Structure 1
């Protein structure tokens, strides 16, 4: 049996039907909300919000970083091709 600790979760998503607890970007544990009592739902949501840090950087941030790195790489390649010829 493998133990998973709260610190192992990277992010979470709350929907009407499930709580998704992500271990990686492609791997999540699903908790069905309907299977919990009202008190259990409240406790789980409070615990998740206090233990798991919400992801603050969105997809747009990573796209911008990739474009910046791409343009820097293109600039380096052009600089080297001009100076080495």
Structure 2
């Protein structure tokens, strides 16, 4: 389980866009297929992945752009990239 702010990674990496002032853009970008991430309180960023068994929680997470959530799922780290397969999401 990990908690943090749902990010549009394209804008976050490109120009550190985050927070409620960026919410509308993030919602649009995520719905258009940009990669989604999670920014934790300690500054770590996780790439969010759709669970192969059930993609619904991943798709639901897109609606929480710029908001704080709790995500449960399998965590991975490869080549310096941290990721979570979204098995459940809860808005905080």
TM-score for both structures, normalised by structure 1:
0.23
Higher strand share: 2
The TM-score normalised by the length of structure 2 is 0.22
Structure with larger Rg: 1
Q: Which has the higher helix share?
A: 1
